[in-house]
Chains A and B, each alone.
Chain A
Amino acid sequence: MTKKESALAVVAKVSGKDPEELTPDAELVANLGMDSAKALELLVELEDQLEIEFSDEDAAKLNTVGDILAFVERLES
Chain B
Amino acid sequence: MTDILDTYPTTIPAALERAAIDFPHRGIGIFDGRGRQVERRTYAQFWENAKEVGARIATLGIEPREPVIIALPTSWEWLLAWWGVLLAGGWPVAASGAGAIAAAEAQFDKVDAIMKTLRCRRIISSEGFRQQALDHGNQWANDRVLTVREILDLTPQPGFQPSMGHPEETAFLQLTSGSTGLPRAVMISHLGAMHNAVASSIVIGTPQGAPAHQWAQSMVSWLPLYHDMGLIGCLMLSIATGLDVWMLRPPTFLARPKLWLQQLGSRGKTFTPSPNFGYQLALERIRPGQLDGLDLSKWKAALTGAEMIRPETVKAFCEAFEPHGFDPRAFRPCYGLAEATLAVTCDTRGEGVRTLPKPEGADSGYGLAEIVSNGGPIDATEVVIRALNGRKLPENCVGEVCVKGPGVFNGYFLDETATAGALVDGWLQTGDLGFLADSELYLTGRTKDVLIVHGQNLMPDELEQLADGVTGGGGLMRSAAFSVAAGAQGESVVLVVETSQTDSPSLQGLEQEIRSQIGRQIGLPLADVVFVKRGRIPRTSSGKVQRSEIRQIYIDGAL
Contact = CB atoms under 8 A, between A and B. Distances in A.
Interface of A: 27-31, 33-37, 39-44, 56-57, 59-63
A44 B519 CA distance: 20
Nearest to B489: A35
B523 A35 contact: yes
B460 to A, nearest CB: 17
Contact of A27 (B255, B285, B519): B519
A56 B102 contact: no
Contacts of B452: none
Interface string B515-527: 1111110011100
Contact of B100 (A31, A59, A63): A59
A62 B520 CA distance: 10
Interface of B: 33, 98-104, 128, 251, 254-256, 277, 281, 285, 453-454, 512, 515-520, 523-525
A36 B522 CA distance: 10
Contacts of B103: 29, 36
21 contacts: A27-B102, A27-B520, A29-B520, A29-B524, A30-B515, A30-B525, A34-B101, A35-B453, A36-B100, A39-B523, A40-B101, A40-B251, A41-B254, A41-B255, A43-B100, A43-B255, A44-B256, A56-B100, A59-B101, A60-B99, A60-B101
A51 to B, nearest CB: 15
A29 B523 contact: yes
Nearest to B520: A63
Contacts of B281: 37
A56 B255 contact: no
Contacts of A59: 100-101
B128 A37 contact: no
Given A37-B254, A57-B128, A30 B101 contact: no
Contact of B523 (A36, A42, A56): A36
Nearest to A58: B101
Contacts of B98: 60
Nearest to B522: A29
Given A27-B519, A30-B525, A44-B256, A63 B102 contact: yes
Contacts of A36: 99-101, 103, 251, 254, 454, 523
Contacts of B525: 29-30, 33-35
B33 A28 contact: no
Nearest to B250: A36
B214 to A, nearest CB: 35
Question: Quick one: which of A39, A40, A59, A63 has the most chain B CB within 10 A?
Answer: A40
B524 A35 contact: yes
Question: Quick one: which of B101, B454, B520 has the most chain A CB within 10 A?
Answer: B101
Nearest to B280: A37
A37 B489 CA distance: 12
Contacts of B515: 27, 29-31
A19 B3 CA distance: 63
A33 B251 CA distance: 18
A34 B101 CA distance: 10
Contacts of B101: 28, 34, 36, 39-40, 42-43, 59-60, 62
B100 A60 contact: yes
Nearest to B285: A41
Contact of B255 (A28, A40, A62): A40
A57 B129 CA distance: 10
Contacts of A37: 254, 277, 281, 454
Contacts of B254: 36-37, 40-41
Nearest to B281: A37
Nearest to B98: A60
Nearest to A53: B34
Contact of A28 (B454, B512, B519): B519
Contacts of B524: 29, 35
Given A29-B525, A36-B254, A44-B255, A60 B512 contact: no
